[in-house]
Structure 1
Amino acid sequence: MLHAGRVLRFDEVRGYGFIVPHEGDEDVFMHANDLLDEKYQYKAGSEVEYELEMGDKGPKASRIRLLGAPASSGGTRESTPPDPHGDYSDVLSPAELRGELTEALLQADGSLTGDQIKRVRSSVIELARSHGWLES
């Protein structure tokens, strides 16, 4: 079954990154070996479609292709609707905020436990909801 999401981040040099599923589930690991398009085309915010597998460390995407980009094999692709918030949106989905918070917390303090990260994320997401900073 195909799933859709948005690239949270992708490190072209290291060859891996994460996808935030549109379904709001846990972030999905992505690896350059599973990309159907050229890896330089995968940027944060890119809409993608992928098959979901369970890897050794959690959900993993395979057969990842960009949506709305020119096809690498000569076929055509449907384009995705434009983002109503534009490229510089301050409004995120709860899943996008959760993913970005996780990255920020891990970069700020790599010694945080999973439970600590979950508690901080939950508090910040509730704060963002109370101010209307998240998409409905």
Structure 2
Amino acid sequence: MLMTGKVLRFDEVRGYGFIAPSEPGEDVFMHANDLLDEKYLYHEGSEVEFHLEMGDKGPKASQIRLVYQPSSHRLPNRPVFSDGSATAERPAAAASGEGTGAGRFRTELTEVLVASVDSLTAAQIRQVRERVVELAREKGWLTV
């Protein structure tokens, strides 16, 4: 039976955890061998879809996959700042470098990444952020 639920806890090192099903009932055991996505992506509160089976010790999940919710915080085609304006809409400020420096851009980008993908680690955010800043400089989107 296909079900949904949220990860209560998952120990990536030990390779197991538990899911709280959306429908009332007891918690469901989950094992790393039954994950369809990379195990580092499963965190407390992650919404999952799974097949419910009865194991030797109770309910067990199989074919577990993450359910990604649509987000209103997706990265836009052009950098957008917290006031909602894109760099292309602010040519005078962009030309002068006023308020569009790499520092501010990094801050805004970090906020977007954290709000968009809650499973990113700090190291992953730093890697993505630095590459995007580098690309923005190459394309002339950042003048500072």
TM-score by length of 1: 0.51
Verify the 8 A CA contact 1:4 1:48 in the aligned structure 2.
yes
Instruction: Flag the structure with higher helix content.
Output: 2
Equivalent AA in structure 2 for residue 29 of structure 1? F
Match of 1:66 in 2: 66
Percentage identity across paired residues of the two chains: 74
What CA deviation, in whole Å up to 9, does each residue of 1:94-130 have, x standing for no partner?
xxxxxxxxxxxxxxxxxxxxxxxxxxxxxxxxxxxxx
Question: Aligned pairs, how many?
Answer: 72
Structure 1 pair 81–55 and aligned structure 2 pair: CA distance change class (3 A) = farther
Larger gyration radius, structure 1 or structure 2: 2
- Matches of 1:50 and 1:17, distance apart in 2: 14
Measured after TM superposition, the shift of residue 24 of structure 1 is 1.7
Verify the 8 A CA contact 1:34 1:62 in the aligned structure 2.
yes
- What is the SS of the residue equivalent to 2:33? helix
Unaligned runs of 5+ in 1: 69-78, 83-136
Match of 1:56 in 2: 56
- Matches of 1:12 and 1:22, distance apart in 2: 23
Unaligned runs of 5+ in 2: 73-144
TM-score by length of 2: 0.48
Q: Which has the higher contact order (CA 8 A, sep 6+)?
A: 1
- What is the SS of the residue equivalent to 2:6? strand
